[in-house]
Every structure is written in C-alpha cells, then in structure tokens.
C-alpha cells in the first residue's frame, strides 16, 4: 500500500526585533496602563538627568522601575533602599535591553494609603452616628480635684503632664492608668483605662493621649473601640494625641481636643494664682456684702429697740471668748510641761556626755599615733638606705648601657618627622624631612639621596 505523507508548514510571519518590541509595548501598555504594585525598593540610583531608577522586589520576583524627573518632583516620599512601598504607574518596554519596566507616577510608604482610607471610612461612620456632635460634648470642670491619665507610664508624656499639673495647681490628685499606646493590644489597654475611670468615678476629668509619631504610631487612637469607649465615658475626656498637626478619631469624639499633651494639662488645671485672685475678689465682695447687711440689720435693731437682744448677743460672744481663753491657757500649760520635760532630758544627756569625755580618748590616740609615726619614719629611712645601696650598681650599669654614651662617641640617631627611628634608607622617601639626634642637640635635614641596601640593613 502506498504511503501518503502529508506535510504542512505554517505561513511565516517575519518581524524585526524593533517591530516585536513595539507590539509587546503596545500590548502591555494597553493591559497595564494604570496599576498599583506593592514591594520593597532596592538598587536606587539617581541620574544627573533627575530620573530615578530602582528595583521593586518581593520574595520571588523583581521589577525594574524608572521615575522620570517630572514625576519625581511630585513624589510624596523619595525612594530609599529597603522601603516597603505602594507604587502607581504603567508598564513600558525599554527597547535597548528588551526589558519591561514600570514607569512610576506616584509612590507612598506601604500601608499609609490603606490606613488613611480606613481612617476616612471610620470617621464617616462615627460622624453619621452623631459621635462627633458638639451637643453631646461636656464642659470640663473649672476646678477639678482628681485627674485621671491614660497613657504609657514610661514615656515623656506622663512626666510632662504631671509636671504641668503640679506647677499650675499644686495639691491635685493624679492617678495614672498605665497603657501601651502603640502596637498589638494597645487599643484594648486604652479602652480599659477609659472604662476604669468611667466605672469608678474617681476622676473628674480624664486625659488620654501620647506623643507624636507617624500615622501607624498614632493608630491606636484611630481604633473604633477607643472612640466608642470615649463616647461612653461618664467622665469628660480630653484627647491629647501627637502634635498640633496630628488628628485622630479620638480627637473628634472626645469632649475636648488638645493640640499636645502639655496643652491638655494646661486646659485641665487652672493657674492657682488666678484661682487665688478670684477667691480673694470673691472674699472682698462677700465682706463688703456682709458689712452692708450687718449695717442694715444694726440699723433695724436700733430702730426696733432691741437693745436686750444685743446684750444677749454680747453675752454669748463673751462666753465663747472665755472658752477660747481657757483653751489657750490649757495649751500654754501643756507646752510649758513639755518644755520642762525636754529640758530635763537635755540635762541628763549632757551629764552622760560629760561622763564620756572624748578628750582623754583623743589624747591616748594622739600618743599612739606619734609613736607609730616615729617608728614609721625609722622604717622608711632604713628602707630608703637599703634601696639606695641596691640601686647604685644598677645605676652604674645603666650608665654603661645608655645610648647617650654611644652618641658621645660620635654616633647619631636618625628619626622621621613623625618621631619613628630610621633603620632602613629605603623607608625614607626622597625630599622628606628627617631629624638627627646628636650627643648634644639635634639637627633637621632633608633627604636628597638614598644609598645602600634596599632592605634588611641595620
């Protein structure tokens, strides 16, 4: 049977490298025109043109990226090696290397965009529930006696708050509920602190806050549980988070928002000088009102002819004064008795002290010290004599071995400018300065030539 062979060859489509690259660029550009890519930056380079080149990588892959100068000026954060980021751009193909790359148009630290989105969403939700309404916010007590603080016990915030409260109004009672202000579990601890003061009613006002930081550091006070705990609190809450430009969900829910923790302390506690001035002004007004009232009553009494009532009043006042005088006399008698007892005790102690006259003991100690001093002097002189005798042969030997004796015979010691002794002519470059130490004096010279062996010569 005759074999039939069938062969089919597809039509060839010939493309140049440039044509194929252009087709790939068009395809990728149409499919990945606007993408967000998460990864870690490495190999960052900034060219003189202003373009920034880097690689975006994860555990198993990497992507070359380029940010042209026009886009680099608008970046929220500059690319840095090791930075975890979210990058927005489009895919392009670099013809000369045949590589695809991401043309970066925007860059932000990874997590910031998600956190900001969550912040806005929660803010809208709680605002819709009325937790931000000014009508539900309570005024702070004008003169609180007990202040609660919910913050980290180890940070500078609690020290600043306590110091300002103590300076502005000494005598305030302050209670700290220690709570972590960032990291896992911090939101639960802040909620527990706010609920503690709300449940016990010990504090008249509560300060909840922490120092400044990034949005991630402040995120505890953007937690919904913390916001609802502030809204449920039976005690007015002052939110003191970060710096003046930092805003958190807690700031919107709290009864009062302070720009900084220090500002919160100043809002809570009035200056005691101002309070004292107000009290003095009130006292003056009260005295004036009482004098006016007494004058009117006195006139009325005179008009009604109740001199007997006045006499009885004087009698009652006199009896009270007599009672005061009696108590004063008794107090003086008790003070006199205590002074007499203290005087007798002092006399007894003085007698016992005289019996233990220290001058005798000091005299005996002085005599012992003088005897020891004399013995020590003899021993020292004997020891010095022995040492001098043993040093004499050593000194003679030292004189014989002294390099000065060698220098006296006409030898010299050559040193570099740094003070290093020259043992090899090759170790001193031509033109360098040297010092020559003689038996008497020194010479300064410049090397103009070097002769002799290049190494190993002494």
pLDDT tens-place string over residues 300-348: 777 666 667 666 777 777 777 777 877 888 888 888 888 888 889 888 8
Q: How far is CA 450 from CA 424, 425, 433, 446, in A?
A: 10, 6, 13, 11
Give the pLDDT band (50/70/90) at residue 457: very low
Q: Is the pTM here over 0.75, yes or no? A: no
Give the per-residue pLDDT at 169: 87
Domains 17-110 and 134-270 share a fold: no
Q: Does residue 204 surpass a pLDDT of 80? A: yes
Residue range 66-86: mean pLDDT, rounded = 85
CATH topology of domain 134-270: Rossmann fold (3.40.50)
Listed ranges 7-16, 52-61, 442-451; the one with the highest mean pLDDT: 52-61
Q: Which CATH class is domain 17-110?
A: mainly beta
Give the per-residue pLDDT at 403: 74
Coil, strand or helix at 8: coil
Q: Where are the domains of the chain?
A: 17-110, 134-270, 306-348, 399-458
HSE-up of residue 37 (Cα within 13 Å, Cβ side): 26
Q: Does residue 10 surpass a pLDDT of 70? A: no
Lowest mean pLDDT among 98-107, 117-126, 147-156, 166-175: 117-126
Q: Does residue 455 surpass a pLDDT of 60? A: no
Give the whole-angstrom CA distance, residue 64 versus residue 97. 12
The per-residue pLDDT for range 213-268, each reduced to its tens digit, is 877 888 899 999 999 999 999 999 999 998 877 889 999 999 999 989 999 999 99
* Order of all β-strands in the sheet with 205-210: 173-178, 146-151, 205-210, 237-241, 256-257
Give the per-residue pLDDT at 456: 43
- Specify the higher pLDDT residue, 295 or 197: 197
Nearest to 44 by CA among 89, 98, 91, 107: 107
Nearest to 74 by CA among 48, 115, 49, 104: 104
Q: Does residue 279 surpass a pLDDT of 60? A: yes
- pLDDT-above-90 percentage for the chain: 29
Q: What is the mean pLDDT of the chain?
A: 84
Give the whole-angstrom CA distance, residue 361 versus residue 140. 70
């Amino acid at each position: 049977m005759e074999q039939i062979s069938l062969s089919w060859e597809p039509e060839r489509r010939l493309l140049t490298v440039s044509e194929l690259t252009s087709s790939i660029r068009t395809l990728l550009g149409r499919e990945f025109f606007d993408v967000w890519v998460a990864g870690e930056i490495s190999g960052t380079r900034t060219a003189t043109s202003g373009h920034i080149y880097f690689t975006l990588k994860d555990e198993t892959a990497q992507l070359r990226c380029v940010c042209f100068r026009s886009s680099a000026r608008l970046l929220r954060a500059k690319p840095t090696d090791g930075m975890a980021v979210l990058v927005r751009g489009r895919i392009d193909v670099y013809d000369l290397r045949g590589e695809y790359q991401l043309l970066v148009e925007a860059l932000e630290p990874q997590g910031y965009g998600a956190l900001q989105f969550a912040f806005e969403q929660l803010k809208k939700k709680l605002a819709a529930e009325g937790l931000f309404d000014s009508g539900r916010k309570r005024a702070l007590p004008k003169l609180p006696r007990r202040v609660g603080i919910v913050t980290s016990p180890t940070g500078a915030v609690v020290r600043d708050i306590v110091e300002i409260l103590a300076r502005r109004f000494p005598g305030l009672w302050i209670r700290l509920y220690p709570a972590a202000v960032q990291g896992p579990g911090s939101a639960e601890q802040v909620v527990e602190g706010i609920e503690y003061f709300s449940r016990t009613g010990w504090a008249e006002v509560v300060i909840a806050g922490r120092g400044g930081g990034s949005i991630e550091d402040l995120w505890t006070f953007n937690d919904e549980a913390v916001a609802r705990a502030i809204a449920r609190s039976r005690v007015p809450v002052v939110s003191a988070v970060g710096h003046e430009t930092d805003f958190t969900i807690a700031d919107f829910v709290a009864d009062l928002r302070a720009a900084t923790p220090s500002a919160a302390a100043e809002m809570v506690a009035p200056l005691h000088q101002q309070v004292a001035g107000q009290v003095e002004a009130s006292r003056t007004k009260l005295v004036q009102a009482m004098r006016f009232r007494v004058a009117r009553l006195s006139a009325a009494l005179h008009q009604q002819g109740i001199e007997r009532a006045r006499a009885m009043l004087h009698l009652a006042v006199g009896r009270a004064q007599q009672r005061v005088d009696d108590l004063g006399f008794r107090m003086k008698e008790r003070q006199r008795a205590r002074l007499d007892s203290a005087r007798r005790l002092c006399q007894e102690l003085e007698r016992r002290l005289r019996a233990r006259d220290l001058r005798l003991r000091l005299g005996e100690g002085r005599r012992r010290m003088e005897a020891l001093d004399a013995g020590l002097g003899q021993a020292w002189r004997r020891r010095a004599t022995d040492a001098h005798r043993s040093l004499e042969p050593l000194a003679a030997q030292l004189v014989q071995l002294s390099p000065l004796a060698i220098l006296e015979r006409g030898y010299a010691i050559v040193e570099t400018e740094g003070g290093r002794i020259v043992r090899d002519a090759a170790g001193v470059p031509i033109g360098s300065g040297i010092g020559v130490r003689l038996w008497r004096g020194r010479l300064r010279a410049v090397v103009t030539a070097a002769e002799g062996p290049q190494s190993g010569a002494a």
